[in-house]
Structure 1
């Protein structure tokens, strides 16, 4: 009853604090987190007092404390906890209207009793100790970025932050690659709940949707513990967003960007409406609700008049519009509110954020020159992204309830024009495609954490819902052809290819809708084992996914007996399908959708685990246990057949062990073994066949695909010369059974990109990470504030595949998506007492295999490229404002995929290599301003 009254009081207060702007009182506060020195676990119920006063409190269920109403000055803080050595820290300074963040670590007292020993220290030294503990105490081999590091960087979103993680690479400014493995071998969680794939045709998450200033911490685990989801091999990316802010604030940010290949250039597109700028199509492109069904169209049930009426109901604007590409623009509004209740340690917090981005980019002269085609494309993409985040949290006593919500919507409207020659057809080609994709993600998580008893045990529960929508209304494609031998005659003209309807020239209406439901329960109990403190943890988790995918391929087939057929086929695109041509009977309505092109699917994953975190003496730590996962996936095409249906069940036992030996306070030796999984995505299982006009191939799933099992082993040496700095060397080995890979299936002479299970795959590599100030060169202030960081990964992979029943050319090759090396390097310097920050970043990823080769179509490789980024951030207006300048991809190297015909592992057209795709994306320059009230 008491907790209900507290909750009611908090909600009433929340309405007040969110609506009104709060003015800081003439006082400040001190807040922070208290953790165990050896394990990094937060401590519940630690007494925190201001020495010489009655002010104080106990840490909450997250190990956090907040002492408010303090006058300007320096204070001594006293930390006491049963079974731990106390601490008395001097020099903790409070400034009016500010929040002093102060994290502390406590060490077990052994046989000593409370208050027998109190260690005295200073604010600065203890802050450094806390950062050391955070770095060293991960149970697994991992790399992370805290909110404090993010604050000092100019990163705008989570994908920018991930660029700083060892062994991580960002593709397309949003997809992450860990240890050179393709993104399908990673998993991601947001606030403890698994994130679904945001992409319709791949297992990947778009990490640019979470603003960096709302991230509490970001951790990439490269080894597994039983409490982590099992479906990863490269890395498990765990993002925690903030819930209770440190202070009340309002932050507003604006920015603009210039792309050297696009901005202020002529920008072509289909019809544009005002709602496009807000991320929503106005509905004109959607398939009418009363449009005839596929069976009525192909069954001949429509009269000529009904067919004409149906064609006239479809969107009819095929005109190409010319505009000027505007600069990239982005806006962000964030509101943070926190309410400390004076009569208790209870606290309510709220964070609300709104983001908007719009860009108009051009890919000029995209070269596609291979096998039978020599094409040049110009691609114009209009993109709008809107996002919202709303987090609420309430702590009362030793409990905490959070309600976290995120919504993101992406509107990508692309227009492609192509010109070139097709040698198989002996025709000059002009091809046009209008393609809109609307993607949205909504995710809501309710979570509770409750301390039980006085021994620091706790229970954590969560309920989560997510919805993913991918809506592709009216993707329009059409090809014109001309016979070069007709030059000089009346027949030397481009004629529309409307005689037949195929997936290459049809209109695609597709919609994917997926609902995810998940729940989890975890229990943590501190225990004594072998005379040392240990932690026992157990939990259960379930995830249910339900997807529906519908696709219609509709086309207008030319009526060859129409008297105007020849004249209409010579019309330009804007009038090819004009109403006068439709009404004259020049076209028949056709629908070429296959039964397998639409499907429903659902999956259920149930997991349970047992885990122990043991310490052996002062230096050894072992985190070990087992996870068991039961997985069922069911997929049915619109008309299910044995060739298009899936009903698979798996039960997997997944052991893991992570051992850490602390040679010194600054040096760790780590070793681990763990078993993980890679499960096929719905799209990889579905027989749906979609024509990709950029790849010039069909994309199709494989219902016979099975889950992959991977055995992993890692060793690592890590040295922390100073707080925030690291030197580490790692080695790892991964053995895949049934690895999931894409390949060119060309048994029928046409190229279909689909998926296979490769029998045996071995991956091994080494990683070097170095993050160090340059003060070892000379003890100067300039070098002390200059940080050089680099991480280098060298990786070798080998695939051995049984060719039985599969049209594969290479049975021994590198793994698809596995880069042989990754280089990240950077230089960071802080000027003017940290008011001016400079970053220079370099990235290079080695040549990697994107699609395994078939017999007729070789393997597709992606050439390496050099990427250099520069970032400058200047704090202004009493550090409340910040101006940022970013220069991205300054070198503007080509992005190239190719056939390596001479097998020299280099891209060289002069030596016969054929180009799948090659273009320069342009360099990006942006300026932004952010101000916090």
Structure 2
């Protein structure tokens, strides 16, 4: 009966929250709150059931299963609180300032009692001292080597997506503005978790997560774990990116934001595209580009089973609008809405909260004069990208007694419509000149839901954590259209290449759907070893992936027996497939029949682990254990001649992380761990896809093996003051059967597939974040922080003949990465100034083949700036951001003379060269 009444109360509160979301009465608060977390000084473990009392009153609360507490209903003023927990020294904290309608955040670190004396020992501290001590504890007591970034730092940068944010983390870079590279290792060697459950690959042709689809405003914090512990998935070598979104807020809020951006080479300038629907602006094609129900099957088309009338009807059912539209690109737009609600329920002050957010981004960007000048090719491309991104987050949390339940949901949809116009020559063909058109829409969506629970078990701070996850990934390419015009002589006519299905005359309809189901349970129990409190942890997890992929290559070919064919192929692209031509029967519907284009795949990963976080002494800590993963995979192509792919592996993955406290502010860490990475479905499929941008065909290798990686790390870290760090790290990695793309460029068109090779990588990282108050503890210096991180990595892959490079670095590995910046606060923190710099060393974009060496990405300097000013009693903020101010060229080249420099006069060839323009934006955010 009690539970039934509690559910009724919860439902009534939820209804009240949703129906009064827009009411200003909820925000008219005359009281404030003190909220935070109680942790162990030595391990940063949260303490469940600690009591937090307001001195001189009867007001108090106990911490929940996350060690969190909230003291609400406090009148504005100064307070002192006392924190008590059995077996720990009590702590009294004074000078805590509370403001009306605001939350004062205070985390408190407690130390274990050193004696069994009956007299109580109370440690006294001020608010600032307690805050600094807890921050020190969190910084120092990480189980593994890791780096991270908080929501506070994210707000002070010009970054709008998670991909942008990750550029700021030590040893991390971003490729193509969305794929993460950690320690110079490309995306396939990195893993991603969202709210504790694995993120799927968003790309149909590679193992990679596109971090640009998660807006930065939805993030609570990001941590990149660079060494393995048994309780996290083992499929990484560079790092595991852990992203946490917001659940129960500290207080009610409602915020709106709007922003506009100007790109120096795109905005208000000529922008070309295919036809545009109104729904495109909302991220949905609306179905106008898809194959309609009842469209002929592959068997009907290939078997010539269509009558002339059916042939014409089928062609007319396609979207044959090939017009190129011109307009002036508008300003980039971004809008966001966020709502947070929290309520205390019942006498026990159980807490129910929700965070809901909606985001929208739209941009029209031009990349003119892309030069592709290498081998047979001398092309110039103009590309026009129309992008819409819509996202939604809905997180719900309920904290009751010593338990907490969260239900977290994220949806994101990206509409990316690219139009390419190419001119130039291909010396491997008989054409004197080319005019190539490509209309290429890719729609991607991610739906991810996680239900998780945390529960205290018994009275000794034992904890049970579980979660259930579901993810759905859609990659929809509804009608990629390519048409090339050629002329045989300088003064000849351009004619359309519509004589047969080919890479210059096909329409690709592809659809990928993947569902992922996951479950995990962890149990953690404190144990006494060597008179020190340690933690034993054990867990089980499973993940099931189910993918379906289908692609059809359809072409309209000219009937050369029709007397009008010579005139039709000279038509401009807008009327080439006009209705009058189609209705005359001059075109025949054809399809490239290749059942390798369709496959189904599934995999099941089951894991279990045992782990001990062992405090051997006051200064020495060892975290060690074993993770066991069993992996099964099945992939079946619809082509009866393609081999079925099966994988069945069981791997034992030990790890040990050692930490020695040299001083109260410094640690020395060492670790060894074994990890792995597995082939993606696409890398195992024999499906071949011609990529017109890189002028090569991509296909998989069904014989790939998993990669096993042995890792070793050493790190010294020093924390001069709270929020500051100086660290030095070294690492070594040995790869058995590393998965690398292999290029066969011996034919007229390059083919890229994947093979296993042995490799190694080693390097070191340095990081520093320091306030300038050591120069002068006042004014400008006190409010200025500088930071920098540098990563240096060397790797080597050994190859055999006939490759022209017998040794080379790993693909995507940068020899060095530099991130640096400065942050200044002024006018009582109303004004914030951030300057950010990034540079990475040249890295291999594609590995070399038999005729040509590797394609290298040339280094470039990236400089960003953001100014933020708080207005309207600090509830509003105006931000001005400048991204990629220097706008240096993006250059990818063949190092033909082998001098490790981009040098056209020395014979180097340009794989591609382009500018993206500097972007300047102005945004306004207001929180009620």
TM-score by length of 1: 0.97
Which residue matches 2:353? 349
**Counterpart residue number, 1:629:** 629
Alpha-carbon contact 1:163-1:170 (below 8 Å) kept: yes
Match of 1:518 in 2: 518
The correspondence of residues 349-368 of structure 1 with structure 2, limited to 5 A, is: 349-368=353-372
Contact 1:82–1:114, Cα closer than 8 Å, also in 2: no
Q: How far is 1:624 from its partner?
A: 0.5
Deviation at 1:619, TM superposition (A): 0.5
Q: Is 1:583 matched up with 2:583?
A: yes
Whether 1:239 aligns to 2:248 is no
Q: Distance in 1 between matches of 2:252 and 2:710?
A: 48
State how far apart, in whole Å, the 1-side matches of 2:9 and 2:805 are: 68
Give the distance between the partners of 1:691 and 1:208, measured in 2 at CA. Answer: 25
Q: Secondary structure at the match of 1:245?
A: coil
- Which one of the candidate residues 478, 488, 500 is aligned to 1:473? 478
Give the equivalent residue in structure 1 for 2:648. 649
Q: Is the 8 A contact 2:156 2:866 kept in 1?
A: no
1:373 Cα deviation from its structure 2 partner: 1.0
Q: What residue is the counterpart of 2:18 in the other structure?
A: 18
Say whether residues 1:92 and 2:96 are aligned partners: yes
Q: Is the 8 A contact 2:805 2:853 kept in 1?
A: no
Question: Quick check: 1:82–1:113 contact (8 Å CA) kept in 2?
Answer: no
For residue 448 of structure 1, the aligned residue among 438, 453, 464 is: 453
Structure 2 gap segments, 5+ residues each: none
**Alpha-carbon distance, 1:756 to partner:** 1.3
Q: Give, in angstroms, the shift of residue 151 of structure 1.
A: 4.7
CA distance in 1, matches of 2:777, 2:62: 42
CA 1:707–1:871: 2 relative to 1, 3 Å: same
Compute the displacement of 1:644 (Å): 4.1
Deviation at 1:580, TM superposition (A): 1.8
Name the CA shift for 1:790/1:604 in 2 (closer, same or farther; >3 Å): same
- How is 1:251-650 mapped onto 2 (pairs within 5 angstroms)? 251-427=255-431, 428-484=433-489, 487=491, 492-641=492-641, 643-650=642-649
Partner residue of 2:908 out of 880, 905, 913: 913
The CA deviation at 1:546 is: 0.4
Q: CA deviation at 1:802?
A: 4.6
Task: Tell whether 2:732 aligns with 1:727.
Answer: no
1:785 is displaced (CA, Å) by: 1.4
Aligned residue number for residue 714 of structure 2: 715
Q: Deviations over 1:909-930 (max 9, x none)?
A: 2221111111001101100000
Structure 1 149/413 Cα, relative in aligned 2: closer, same or farther at 3 Å? closer
Q: Determine the C-alpha separation between the residues in 2 that align with 1:62 and 1:2.
A: 24
Query: Per-residue CA shift, 1:39-70, capped at 9, x if unaligned?
Result: 11111000111111110011000000011111
Partner of 1:573, secondary structure, is coil
Contact map agreement 1:83 1:114 (CA 8 A) in 2: no
**Structure 1 segment 745-824 matched on structure 2, within 5 A:** 745-758=744-757, 760-802=758-800, 808-824=803-819
* Cα drift, residue 73 of structure 1: 1.5
**Whole-angstrom distance in 1 between the partners of 2:454 and 2:614:** 23
Moved more, 652-661 or 891-900: 891-900
Partner residue, 1:52: 56
Question: 1:827 and 2:832 equivalent?
Answer: no
Q: CA deviation at 1:593?
A: 3.6
Deviation at 1:152, TM superposition (A): 4.7
| Deviation of 1:26 (Å) | 1.9
Q: Retained in 1: the 8 A contact 2:257–2:336?
A: yes
- Distance in 1, Cα, partners of 2:756 & 2:469: 32
Q: Distance in 1 between matches of 2:141 and 2:190?
A: 23
The residue that corresponds to 1:80 in the other structure is 84
Counterparts of residues 181-260 of structure 1 (less than 5 Å): 181-260=185-264
SS class of match (2:505)? coil
Residue 476 of structure 1, CA deviation: 0.4
Per-residue CA deviation, residues 493-525 of structure 1 (Å, 9 max, x unaligned), is 111111121133200000101101000010000
1:686 corresponds in structure 2 to: 685
Native 8 Å contact 1:3 1:396 kept in 2? no
Q: Is the 8 Å Cα contact of residues 865 and 893 (structure 1) preserved in structure 2?
A: yes
Instruction: Find the counterpart in structure 1 of residue 114 from structure 2.
Output: 110
- CA distance in 2: counterparts of 1:357 and 1:869, whole angstroms: 20
Show the counterpart of 1:742: 741
RMSD: 1.4
**Helix, strand or coil: the match of 1:467?**
strand
In structure 2, what is the equivalent of residue 123 of structure 1?
Answer: 127
Instruction: Give the gaps of 5 or more residues in structure 1.
Output: none
Cα distance in 2 for partners of 1:153, 1:529 equals: 45
Change (3 A) 1:920 1:151: closer
1:513-564 CA-partner distances (Å, limit 9, x unpaired): 1101000010000000111100000000000010101100000122121111
Structure 2: how far apart are the matches of 1:818 and 1:2? Answer: 59
Mapped to 2, the partners of 1:461 and 1:259 lie a distance apart of 46
- 1:606-662 per-position Cα deviation (integer Å, ceiling 9, x unaligned): 010000001121111111101000111111111243x44211111110000000000
Deviations 1:574-606 (A, max 9, x none): 111112222223222110041111111111100
Per-residue CA distance 1:333-387 (angstroms, 9 max, x = gap):
0000000125113000000000000000000000001111100000001000000
Residue 288 of structure 1 deviates from its aligned partner by 1.4
Aligned residue for 1:854? 849
> Does the 8 Å contact 1:551/1:593 carry over to 2?
no
The offset of 1:170, in angstroms, is: 2.4
Residue matched to 1:669:
668
1:830 and 1:676, CA in 2 relative to 1: closer, same or farther beyond 3 A? same
Distance 1:19 1:573, change over 3 A: same
Q: Is the 8 A contact 2:370 2:381 kept in 1?
A: yes
Q: CA deviation at 1:258?
A: 0.5
The match for 1:877 is 872
User: For 1:114 and 1:653, how far apart are their aligned partners in 2?
Assistant: 48
Whether the 8 Å CA contact 1:503–1:690 is kept in 2: the answer is no
Q: Residues 644 and 686 of structure 1 are in contact (CA less than 8 Å); yes or no, is this contact kept in structure 2? A: no
Query: What is the rounded CA distance, in whole Å, between the counterparts of 1:405 and 1:192 in structure 2?
Result: 13
Structure 2 length as normaliser, TM-score?
Answer: 0.98
Question: 1:419 touches 1:429 (CA, 8 Å); kept in 2?
Answer: yes
1:160 aligns to 2:159 (yes or no): no
User: Are the aligned partners of 2:624 and 2:656 in contact in 1 as well (CA < 8 Å)?
Assistant: yes
C-alpha distance in 1, partners of 2:387/2:750? 30
Q: Do 2:498 and 2:558's aligned partners in 1 also have CA atoms closer than 8 Å?
A: yes
Helix, strand or coil: the match of 2:93? strand
Give how far 1:160 is off: 3.3
* Deviation string, structure 1 residues 723-771 (Cα, Å, up to 9, x no partner): 111111100000001111112123544201221111x211000111011
User: 2:522 is paired with a residue of what secondary structure?
Assistant: strand
1:39 paired residue number? 43
What is the alpha-carbon distance in structure 1 between the residues aligned to residue 29 and residue 812 of structure 2? 56
- Pair 1:659–1:313, CA change in 2 (3 A): same
